[in-house]
Structure 1
Amino acid sequence: MEITNKFTELPESIQKLLQHINLDVLVSNPTFTPISGEQSRGLLFEIDNSSLVIKWFTQKARADNDIEALLDLAEIEYIPKLYSYEKRSYLVMEKASGSAVSLLLDHGQLSEVELKEIKKQYLHAVHLCYAAGRFDWDFKLDHIFWDRSRNRIMLIDFGEYSCVSEAITTSDIEERSFEFDEDVKEILLSSK
């Protein structure tokens, strides 16, 4: 198991629990609660009484990009903290708080003011990720979580965050802004 500099911030009991992690333990130990069925790239588990999630990679994801992207983006406030990982097996990271923007939109639970703030933070996150050498090729409103109590977004799903070498341009940000607006319109139209 590899650990990041954030690992020591975890309670000692959680650190010990994570030191012997494997799929059998995740499935059989009641401390770990599945939070989704098998996805194409991983199984997700929440660690009870914590704000942590474990992503166990499926065979399809053995060359998954999540770990490298999370390491590269570790200092960005909109990115979950990565605590530990084993390449080609699993990662342990901060659980995104709040709800997916797509879900909130679909249920009419976002004000126009909140939506503007979400978009502003999202475009700032795109700029910061690009500056760190990463770009998300799989944009979805499902991958943006809004925590109303903290007035903050958190991005999730880093499997398609590819390395980029060129500098970000105004047109790159404008393209993401356009995609954001189009996806919002699509959800709002379909929920009427």
Structure 2
Amino acid sequence: DSLSKVAKMPLFNPNVDSLYHALSIPQAEQMLEKSIRRVESARSDFEYLKASLQRDNNRFRRSSIEYYKKFSLAFACIIFFFIGAPLGAIIRKGGIGMPAVVSVVLFIAYYLIDTAGQKLVKSGEWEAIYGMSLSTVVLLPLGIFLTVKAVNDSTLFNFESYLAVIKKLLNIKILWRFIRRKLSRFFRRLKQKNK
């Protein structure tokens, strides 16, 4: 009942300019100074809240990084097993040198990708789960590829097959250059005819 009475009451909508002009000069100055102090106080409160939120957000990101790092490191160990075991089976000759070099290169690639993922999470551009699983997701196809190659006893370092692929790509580049030259000549002639 009382709420309906309050709802029916007319809203108080004062004309601020008329109230301001009704004040004397000292009262107006005092009111302006008080308003400025309130605005500055509200501004400092908002800046404090902003800094507090940023600090809390950074803490949350760091704890999320550590939480998801535990899972991604465990999964990375499994992936490195699926990379290392097939590498040992595929690279039989060459002693310890070639497998060690390949392993170090793969670990450096893993470390660089993992560091990039952490930086993306710390800057707030990515969610923690995506940034921390980036390195494992990138190396997963390599682990699957090497495992399939080792199971099928296929040669990984058969340079003749790689040379055939490179020759095909070069032929595609030569074809693309030929098409580009022909198109540029055609458009130049077309442009000259339109002049």
TM-score by shorter chain over 0.5: no
TM-score of the aligned structures, taking structure 2 as reference length: 0.24
| Higher relative contact order, structure no. (Cα contacts within 8 Å, ≥ 6 residues apart) | 2
Richer in strand (by share): 1
